[in-house]
Structure 1
Amino acid sequence: MVRHVKDLDPTLMDEFSAGIRGEIIHPEDEAYDETRKVYNGMIDKRPALFVKCVDVADVIYTVNFCRENNLLLAVRGGGHNAGGLGLCDDGVVLDLSGIKYVRVNVEDNTVRVGGGNLWGEVDHGTHPFGLAVPAGIISTTGVGGLTLGGGVGHLSRKYGLTIDNLLEADMVLADGSFVTVNEKQHEDLFWAIRGGGGNFGIVTSFKFQGHPVKTVFGGPTLWPIEKTDEIMTWYHEFIHQAPDELNGFAATMIIPGPPFPEHLHGKQFCAVVWCYVGDMSKAKAVFEPVLALNPLFEHLGEMPYPAIQTMFDGLLTPGMQWYWRADFFDELGPEARSQHLKFGSSIPTPLSQMHLYPISGAAGRVGKEATPWAYRNAKYAGVIVGIETNPANNNTIIKWCKDYWEALHPYSLGGAYSNFMMDEGQERVKASYRYNYDKLTKIKKKYDPTNFFRVNQNIQPAS
């Protein structure tokens, strides 16, 4: 039976506090309300305690304390999770933000990263070495959450998902033990964390393979929303035949304002946001087919890789209201395209949008059971996001997202990328892991038989 922190003997709390090097924050503390904020301003949870860990010992001590006293535990890295799974009501939040470092090994181009790092910090640490680790498209995203769920982004077609570049991880398990997992140590656990989320333990350190990426050529291209059918038909044929060095995700969106030109503000568009990581001398030739479609607006050019990773940070700032729905897709057929046109023409707020991230090239060549990420045969990871600054408009963005999703879902493959899911129930979790789910439940039973780590897209231990 789960207990509440306030019901514990004060002596226990005093002993626990004395053993933690990091900061402990209680509801009555001045910093509490600021500390409980996460990226999604729609999340309003009230934990009983925050433990801001600064080292692995703090993590072990907190895990043991919560397990021994039957306290609910949530684990927060970057706090970017759409459903607010880095928080919990009335339980303990183990905050990893104090465990940060980026160490590049120039001999083999590997990168060690702390469990609390954000991707922008990783890019800052690797860019001077001419390296990058495949990640997402927003630099404020946490390394831990994005990695453990899969990691789709600008480099996916060239270098695979983030999990395809994970070489090793240090973890604290539910029993408080510390392990290093890789292809030769705890191979089953290493398999499980490459897509299985935070179900199996707390990762305090990641080791990634870095890749030679210094400069990229890319940016957005926009067409009037009325051209959605034409552009998506062309895009579907083009992107999966393109060289691996070229990535581009399709979108329906509104231009909200600066830095875009004023004549575009408030108008709906079908868009593709590009990132090319090949030979820069060939970039203009690569983009000739794109420009032949006469985009109404394009801002394509050469830039440092961290620039494209931060391109949307200024628009998609922390603390706004977010609502997400997602699916995997194999096709962009006429029925689906008509729904993209319909809902792309009725986007309710300036920042709400839909993205289709291509799963092809290197990401699509990994075996469907090589990692828990079961949709290697999909062509797209799709996500619909309602975004608003005013909580009073939440019902509007939620309805638009749900309606858009329900219209597209019949044309989907049935599951969703877990990093794009909110709290949608156990059947959706199962659908998202497909034939890998049963294996995950067995590994869960081995390493977390009591489901101690359950504030996540939960994989329940095999019965």
Structure 2
Amino acid sequence: MKTHIDNAALKELRQGFSGEILLPEDAGYDEARKLFNAMIDRRPAIIAQCAEVQDVVGAVTFGRRLEMEIAVRGGGHGVAGKALTEGGLVIDLRRMNGVSVDPDARTATVAGGATMSHLDRATQPHDLATTGGRVSTTGVGGFTLGGGDGWLARKFGLACDNLLAAELVTADGNVVRASERENPDLFWALHGGGGNFGVATSLTFRLHELAGVTALLLLWSPAKAPEVLRVYRDYLETAPDEVGGGALYITAPPEDFVPGHLVDHLAFVILVAYAGPEAEARDVAAPLLALGHEGEMIAEMPYADLQCMLDDPPGYRNYWSAEYLKAFPDEAIERFCERAGDMIVPSPSQHVLFPQGGAVAKGPTDVPISWRHAPWVVHPFGLWENPADDERGRQWTRRLREDLRPWASGNVYLNFIGDEGRERVIAGFGQENYQRLARIKAQYDPQNLFHLNHNIAPA
């Protein structure tokens, strides 16, 4: 890939460009290239901060003509840092963050650079929502195109299950629309296939009635975790679909509801994110509330506020992975709890177990997602400040996966992992789905222009 910028081509790109073009010497360049994962430090030759679809068309055409490596940035949350390229072109969509809600049709159309916060704040006044990520700063585009698992997934399905249409700028600079009726093969590929097929400039979603949610955050000392987790596992087998959430170890924050002996120490947490009012939530969660927790925060709130509750602080070094489980027996619980002792504490790291089931398991099977029927997912989510902790953080993540491998399905949600090799990418889709995706990739991006992602090689 070339890194030299042709001045005549750059002048042509600037003409009619509504956003802003940033070069390394420009003010704002260093801020614009920061990603959520502070481990990533790359210097693109040019950052095209697009303000409209034609800016994206111009940037794609420019990058292809100059044979530059192209990265596409939405939220910039991906742990592997694929939203940035060394010496290439970044197509930055963050200025394209508008959301249009049709409350009568119960749909929302979202520009390609919007975050979950933009979407949730727009739908909240109408008492409507759709499945989003578990933090407000996640980009809607990358989240959805990778599948999209979140607090509401057991009730409303994955984000891609609620995708009605998408608009993309493809590798040849064309603007293409995909839905069940328009380019249906491409629409199928966008249900998990990620950013392999073009730059998503617009996504339209189905919305659901949701006046509010209730968060129940229950804390215990780590010694109580195995006992509590066994009850939680059994509880989820019959819990209604309205129950989202997870079980996790965290560094307990200095909040009023946290006992003093847990502050800045490892704590075990059950989070119930209930799609409904507090009275219902307390009744449904009664088996968990009876377990003698040491601290609690229980509150009914707008869904958009729940989305902000566990926002990950920027500026930390990140390493994540995941393992999907076919079962979670007592031995697996013991291994999960023991490995929490390897976490970096204090830090914002999370040693997480998420339940699936509900609408996730009941959702459409004819989509390129291999992991939706696993009842559990283990998600070590590492964040720390000191580069000296990098190897320790990676080893904790890898060892947790290894500990739980006897019960693993072999499938994986690619939004939860970084660069883990081609076989893991295939495992995210399944072999047959991968082959079909590769044929669709060859139709829309035969030269693999969009390869900075969990890449599908053109057939």
- Which TM-score band (shorter chain)? over 0.9
What is the CA-CA distance between 1:381 and the residue it aligns to?
Answer: 2.9
Bigger CA drift: 385-394 or 282-291? Answer: 385-394
For 1:270, the equivalent position in structure 2 comes to 268
After superposition, the C-alpha distances for 1:356-410 in whole angstroms (9 at most, x for unaligned) are 2222111110233x22111121112321022112333223222222222222233
Q: How does 1:105-116 map onto structure 2 within 5 Å?
A: 105-116=102-113
- 1:3 equivalent in alignment to 2:30: no
Choose from 283, 305, 315 the match for 1:307: 305
Matches within 5 A, 1:171-186: 171-186=168-183
Give the 3-state SS of the residue equivalent to 2:424 in structure 1: helix
The amino acid across from 2:344 in the alignment is P
Please tell me whether residue 398 in structure 1 is matched to residue 397 in structure 2.
no
Tell me if structure 1 keeps the 8 A contact 2:164–2:206.
Answer: yes
Q: Is the 8 A contact 2:71 2:91 kept in 1?
A: yes
Which residue of structure 1 aligns with residue 317 of structure 2? Answer: 321
Matched, 1:230 2:227: yes
Tell me, yes or no, if structure 1 residue 243 matches structure 2 residue 240: yes
- Give the partner amino acid of 1:247: G
Verify the 8 A CA contact 2:21 2:49 in the aligned structure 1: yes
Q: SS of 2:201's equivalent?
A: strand
Contact 2:211–2:276 (Cα < 8 Å) also in 1: no
Cα shift readout 1:116-166 (whole Å, capped 9, x = no counterpart): 111111111111111112111100111111111111111011100111111
The aligned length equals: 456
Aligned counterparts, 1:180-195, within 5 A = 180-195=177-192
- SS of residue in 2 equivalent to 1:367: coil
Which one of the candidate residues 344, 356, 360 is aligned to 1:359? 356
| Contact map agreement 1:228 1:337 (CA 8 A) in 2 | no
- Stretches of structure 1 that go unaligned for 5 or more consecutive residues are none
Q: Label 1:259 to 1:321 Cα distance change in 2 as closer, same or farther (>3 A).
A: farther
- Give the alignment partner of residue 424 of structure 1, picking from 408, 417, 420: 420
User: Is the 8 Å Cα contact of residues 19 and 61 (structure 1) preserved in structure 2?
Assistant: no
Of stretches 440-449 and 405-414 in structure 1, the one that deviates more from structure 2 is: 405-414
Name which of 434, 437, 441 aligns with 1:437: 434
Contact 2:18–2:51 (Cα < 8 Å) also in 1: yes
Residue 207 of structure 2 corresponds to residue 210 of structure 1: yes
Matched residues in 1 for 2:2 and 2:280: separation? 62
Structure 1 residues 97-116: Cα deviation after superposition (integer angstroms, max 9, x where no partner): 11121111022110111111
Distance 1:278 1:165, change over 3 A: same
Unaligned runs of 5+ in 2: none
After superposing on structure 2, the runs of 4+ consecutive aligned residues of structure 1 that deviate more than 6 Å are: none
Shifted more, 332-341 versus 116-125: the winner is: 332-341
Kept after mapping to 2: 8 A contact 1:349/1:397: no
Aligned to 2:216: 219
The counterpart of 1:295, out of the listed 293, 296, 300, is 293
Cα deviation for residue 216 of structure 1 reads 1.0
Tell me the residue number matched to 2:93: 96
1:284-320 CA-partner distances (Å, limit 9, x unpaired): 211211111122222122122122111112xx21111
**TM-score, reference length from structure 1:** 0.95
Q: Deviations over 1:181-231 (max 9, x none)?
A: 111100011011111110111110111111111211123112222233222
Shift of 1:9: 3.1
Give the Cα–Cα distance (whole angstroms) in 2 for the partners of residues 381 and 186 of structure 1: 33
Q: Is the 8 A contact 1:329 1:379 kept in 2?
A: yes
Q: What residue in structure 2 maps to residue 123 of structure 1?
A: 120
Distance 2:173 2:256 in 1: 49
How far did 1:413 drift?
Answer: 1.2
- Answering whether residue 372 of structure 2 is matched by residue 373 of structure 1, we say no
| Residues 246 and 278, structure 1, Cα contact 8 Å, conserved in 2 | no
Q: Are the aligned partners of 1:77 and 1:117 in contact in 2 as well (CA < 8 Å)?
A: yes
C-alpha contact (below 8 Å) 1:153/1:161 kept by paired residues = yes
Q: In 2, Cα distance between the equivalents of 1:303 and 1:407?
A: 37
Deviation at 1:349, TM superposition (A): 2.5
Task: Quote how far apart the aligned CAs of 1:267 are.
Answer: 2.8
Cα RMSD (Å): 1.6
Q: Matched residues in 1 for 2:197 and 2:83: separation?
A: 15
Report the residue type matching 2:26 in the other structure: D
Please, which moves more after superposition, 73-82 or 403-412? 403-412
- Structure 2 residue matching 1:300: 3-state secondary structure: strand
Q: Out of 147, 156, 159, which is 2:156 matched to?
A: 159
Q: Which amino acid aligns with 2:371?
A: Y
Name the aligned partner's letter for residue 421 of structure 2: G
Please state whether the residue corresponding to 1:24 is helix, strand or coil.
strand
Amino acid at match of 2:354: Y
Give how far 1:260 is off: 4.8
* Counterpart position of 2:280: 282
Q: 2:254 aligned with 1:257, yes or no?
A: yes
Query: Percent identical across equivalent pairs?
Result: 40
Aligned to 2:335: 339
Q: 1:410 to 1:49 in 2, by over 3 A?
A: farther
Is 1:225–1:345's contact at 8 Å kept on the other side of the alignment? no
8 A contact 1:381–1:417 mirrored in 2: no
Q: Match of 1:201?
A: 198
Q: Which residue of 1 aligns with 2:84?
A: 87
For 1:29, the aligned partner's letter is D
**Residue in structure 1 matched with residue 345 of structure 2 by the alignment:** 349
**Mapped partners of 2:76, 2:270: distance in 1:** 27
- Does the aligned pair in 1 maintain the 2:212–2:277 contact within 8 Å? no
1:132 counterpart residue number: 129
Secondary structure of 2:2 counterpart: coil
